[in-house]
Structure formats: structure tokens, C-alpha cells
């Protein structure tokens, strides 16, 4: 029973952080190249435009939800299961979501890389 709770919380972490990453990535593409904008208009404009972007605010909210799911997961399961499982599943989830929602060209090179990094993270974070 405890296992189901733990995996439920892990899936919640993965779900929330994938949504957060996708929204943040979309927000920053809308803001545009931060370095160029900073040189052109100053740091104030960069910060104002970022904080005023709805996608950014929703993204940060999703990240906060992921953080609280992590706290719940850690109270039910071991850190040696929760951390690597959440990190590597988030990695795969992000590659899929970036392809579907951000229309990123996730070619064979990036799929292989996503698989390798996810496996590596699972080994290292454990």
C-alpha cells in the first residue's frame, strides 16, 4: 500500500516538473534572448518581461507543486528510490513533452542522449 502512495507521489513530481519545465521554456522563448535584450534594454526590462509572462508564473507554480510532491514522496518512500526515479522519469517525460508541446526537433541523437542521461542519473542518484 505504501508503495502505491510512493509511486503516486513520484508520478506527481514527474508530471508537475515536466509541466513546469515546458512552461518555463516556452516563457523564455517568448521573452527572447536574454543576453541580447539585456544589452539593448537593460536588466530591468529583462526581469519585468520575465516576471510579467503568464507562462513563467504558471511554470513556477508547477515547480512549487513538484517540490511539495517531493516532500510527500520522501515522507512515504526512501530517498534512494524517490530521487533517481523522479529525476530520470522527468528526463524522459521532458523529451516527449518538448517534442509535442514545444515542437522541438527531438531527433535520434537527442533520444539516445535522453536515454543515456536518464539511465546515468538513475545510477548516480541512487
Partner 1 sequence: MTFRKYLVLAGVTVFAAAGDSMLSHGMKQTGNISLNHLQGVIFAVLNPWVAVGILLLLAFFATYMTALSWADLTYVLPATSLGYVLLALVARFALHEHVSPLRWLGIALITGGVGFIAGGPELTKHPHADEPVNKACAVAASPPFGEAQGKLLAKNATNGAPGVKV
Binding site for partner 1 (CB under 8 A): 21-22, 24-25, 28-36, 50, 87, 91, 94-95, 98-99, 102-107, 109-110, 112-117, 119-126
How does DSSP assign 25-63, residue by residue?
HHHHHHH--HHHHHHHH-HHHHHHHHHT-HHHHHHHHHH
Rounded to the nearest whole angstrom, what is the least distance from the CB of residue 90 to partner 1 in the complex? 9
Q: Quote the CA–CA distance of 96 and 89 in Å, as a whole number.
A: 11
User: Based on CB atoms, which residue is closest to partner 1, 45 or 124?
Assistant: 124
Rounded to the nearest whole angstrom, what is the least distance from the CB of residue 55 to partner 1 in the complex? 11
Amino acid at each position: 500500500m505504501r508503495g502505491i502512495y510512493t509511486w503516486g507521489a513520484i508520478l506527481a513530481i514527474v508530471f508537475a516538473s515536466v509541466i513546469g519545465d515546458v512552461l518555463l521554456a516556452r516563457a523564455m522563448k517568448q521573452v527572447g534572448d536574454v543576453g541580447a535584450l539585456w544589452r539593448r534594454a537593460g536588466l530591468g526590462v529583462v526581469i519585468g518581461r520575465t516576471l510579467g509572462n503568464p507562462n513563467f508564473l504558471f511554470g513556477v507554480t508547477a515547480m512549487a507543486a513538484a517540490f511539495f510532491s517531493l516532500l510527500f514522496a520522501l515522507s512515504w518512500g526512501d530517498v534512494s528510490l524517490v530521487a533517481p526515479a523522479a529525476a530520470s522519469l522527468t528526463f524522459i517525460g521532458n523529451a516527449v513533452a518538448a517534442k509535442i508541446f514545444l515542437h522541438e526537433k527531438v531527433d535520434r541523437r537527442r533520444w539516445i542522449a535522453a536515454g543515456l542521461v536518464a539511465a546515468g542519473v538513475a545510477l548516480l542518484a541512487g
